[in-house]
A and B are shown apart, each in its own frame.
Chain A
Amino acid sequence: MTDTALDIRASAGSQARAEALTGPNGPKPRPIISPRNIMIYGTLFVVSVYYLLPLYVMIMTSVKGMPEIRMGNIFSPPLEITFQPWVKAWAEACTGLNCEGLSRGFWNSVRITIPSVIVSIAIASVNGYALANWRFKGANIFFTILIFGAFVPYQVMLYPIVILLREAGLYGSLTGLVIVHTIFGMPILTLLFRNYFSSLPEELFKAARVDGAGFWGIYFKIMLPMSLPIFVVAMILQITGIWNDFLFGVVYTRPENYPMTVQLNNIVNSVQGVKEYNVNMAATVLTGLVPLIVYFVSGKLFVRGIAAGAVKG
């Protein structure tokens, strides 16, 4: 009698324990189709379509022939693919008297962008390094003026710079435009570099000083090797900014030195003859290709650098 009672109690106990063990276990299952997921992926899908649709239309139109474009179905894929518009945009389209297509503008843009990017980054990185690590007298005033420069609208300075360049004998030349790009890139780039260098441990700088490295020694041997991400960010900002620039290009250069953007505008806005939409679309994609490639190639480093150089203090 007592034995069975004990047994019952024991089995009841083990049952309770078994139940405790069979409860929720491991990661909580999450259904794939839930209101949360629908919201997230729905939003992402709509936003992607919103941004990709114009690109889709551009590329489709650029590989159609003119008769097909006149039919008006801009969303339909091409019935007959032709790359003639691309060839024409690159090598044959006319702006004014010159019929070399975009290629000349492309090479002008290359000749403007490369020196501008190199010079502006070289100067700005040294500026940022000096501001972050060598707190010289008047550093704060210098920095305030520089930041102030970032907020002055470009248009205000257009004409004064025309006069300055003319006096220096550089108006209309590529050199003049490179100088302008270098100067206008300075505030934001210096800020970027200063913040990045400030985020590096200060003790590293102190250790290098105790080790007898000077201003340039620390810059080249200690700081530069640690700064790849921020240099990539600066390069992307400058390459896309200078490549996409229209205003300075049209104001400070002569027609034979026009950058690609200005030439694109001249092709697209030419008023003579038929509007060749396919050529215009191809020319536009060609012009945008360089910044696009830069973003794709350096995407990961870009994100890392942006996080590292985040604007603060």
Chain B
Amino acid sequence: MTDHAITSVKVNDVSLNFGSVEVLKQLNIDVHQGEFLVLLGPSGCGKSTLLNCIAGLLDVSSGQIFINNKNVTWDEPKDRGIGMVFQSYALYPQMSVEGNLSFGLKNARLPKEEIQKRVARAAEILQIEPLLARKPMALSGGQRQRVAIGRALVRDVDVFLFDEPLSNLDAKLRSDLRVEIKRLHQRLKNTMIYVTHDQIEAMTLADRIAIMKEGIIQQLDTPHAIYNKPVNLFVAGFIGSPSMNFLEGELTNGAVDVGGTSVSVGRYGFEPGNENWSGRAVLGVRPEHVIVLNGVDTQPFSFDATIEIVEPMGADTIAWTTLGGHSFTFRADSELNLEEGQKIRLGFDPARASLFDAVSGERI
């Protein structure tokens, strides 16, 4: 954690308004040196806008941005020490791959040998040497995105900004390039800020994830913490596929009454100070934390259920049932061969679940 102590990018109280619309509301983020930070959220949450502000492509309405401890709030994008990769690749169509890679360096008036050296190095890292003479039109989507990454790479900067770089690729290429970006990060150890709406990308790549909604960061934490301890209903519902089961009921004396079924949450790890909380609450249970019981009740809470819908996914099966009047999904081994109408016994451990205030949506 020692090398994480150095702040690479600092967003300080940044707000952005378009007319009367507040797109970003007093955001604060510290990105550590060498960290991979993912900005995740539904479309329109302001994540790309924030990235554009960091890049200097948009002026902030108030607040400051620091990169490498230098206040760059008023600096031009080229002077901020960033490289950026765009969703649509944004390759200059009339230039060859080599021209695309060297364009920024020529603008910076670097000597010819230096430009050649950097282009060669980037091409070697990304394995695009055979493509250098080609025009972007003659490249496939994956190759184009590699060139786009190369264009950020040659700039020899400390901070990489990715604006949904994989969203235009098909599923197979996306997972290939995802691994490649991770490998690149391990090799270069640059700070990377990565915008996406794909939670798989976020979970697999990030050191930390910032989940945004309506211009506000809901939670900024490691993927593990975000998955296991979401701070509110929005984060809980946004992360995880299929999404978390929400069972609303009255929480009294360490038990939630869900439509007549009492679920004891005695072993649940309450947030400090909330141990004696009572009132309307939402119990969140991840479908993958539900276990199909085979005669023996191994789980702290168990109940009988009738399967209504089965969705076989290959590796496993998503099944739909009800608990206390609420729709309830769970993930089961596909070997179980679940069928619609089948009666089974399910169980889960409330200690692994999440509890939220039904009114404010905050974690209890």
Inter-subunit contact B93/A210 (CB<8 Å)? no
B243 to chain A, nearest CB (A): 31
Chain A residues with CB under 8 Å of B108's CB are 212
Inter-subunit contact B88/A206 (CB<8 Å)? no
Bound CA–CA A212/B148 (angstroms): 15
Chain A residues with CB under 8 Å of B103's CB are 208, 211, 213, 221
A185 to chain B, nearest CB (A): 27
Number of A-B contacts (CB under 8 A): 60
> In this assembly, does A313 line the interface, its C-beta being within 8 Å of a C-beta of chain B?
no
Q: CB-nearest residue of chain A relative to B83?
A: A210
A169 to chain B, nearest CB (A): 43
Inter-subunit contact A209/B104 (CB<8 Å)? no
Other-chain contact of A212, B52, B57, B94, B104 (Cβ < 8 Å): B104
**Of B82, B86, B90, B108, most A-chain CB atoms within 10 Å:** B90
Other-chain contact of A210, B87, B88, B104 (Cβ < 8 Å): B104
Other-chain contact of B90, A203, A212, A217, A225 (Cβ < 8 Å): A203
> In this assembly, does B146 line the interface, its C-beta being within 8 Å of a C-beta of chain A?
no
* Given contact pairs A222-B92, A226-B94, A206 touches B86 in the complex (Cβ within 8 A): yes
**Of B76, B87, B91, B103, most A-chain CB atoms within 10 Å:** B103
Chain A residues with CB under 8 Å of B86's CB are 203, 206-207
Inter-subunit contact A209/B57 (CB<8 Å)? yes
Other-chain contact of B151, A207, A222, A225, A226 (Cβ < 8 Å): A207
> In this assembly, does A55 line the interface, its C-beta being within 8 Å of a C-beta of chain B?
no
Other-chain contact of B107, A203, A206, A217 (Cβ < 8 Å): A217
- The interface residues of chain A, by DSSP majority, are classed as helix
> In this assembly, does B343 line the interface, its C-beta being within 8 Å of a C-beta of chain A?
no
Chain A residues with CB under 8 Å of B107's CB are 211-213, 217
Inter-subunit contact A206/B94 (CB<8 Å)? no
> In this assembly, does B269 line the interface, its C-beta being within 8 Å of a C-beta of chain A?
no
Bound CA–CA A209/B80 (angstroms): 11
Chain B residues with CB under 8 Å of A221's CB are 92, 103
> In this assembly, does A201 line the interface, its C-beta being within 8 Å of a C-beta of chain B?
yes
> In this assembly, does A204 line the interface, its C-beta being within 8 Å of a C-beta of chain B?
yes
Chain A residues with CB under 8 Å of B55's CB are 206, 210
- A210-233, CB < 8 A from B: 210-213, 217, 221-222, 225-226
Inter-subunit contact A206/B84 (CB<8 Å)? yes
Bound CA–CA A204/B100 (angstroms): 11
Bound CA–CA A221/B100 (angstroms): 11
Bound CA–CA A207/B161 (angstroms): 11
Other-chain contact of B78, A203, A204, A212, A222 (Cβ < 8 Å): A212
- Known pairs A203-B87, A206-B52 / 12 extra A-B pairs, C-beta < 8 Å: A201-B90, A203-B86, A206-B84, A206-B90, A207-B90, A207-B151, A209-B77, A210-B55, A212-B104, A221-B92, A225-B94, A226-B93
- What would be 7 A-B contacts, judged by CB atoms less than 8 Å apart? A203-B87, A203-B90, A206-B77, A207-B84, A212-B77, A212-B107, A222-B92
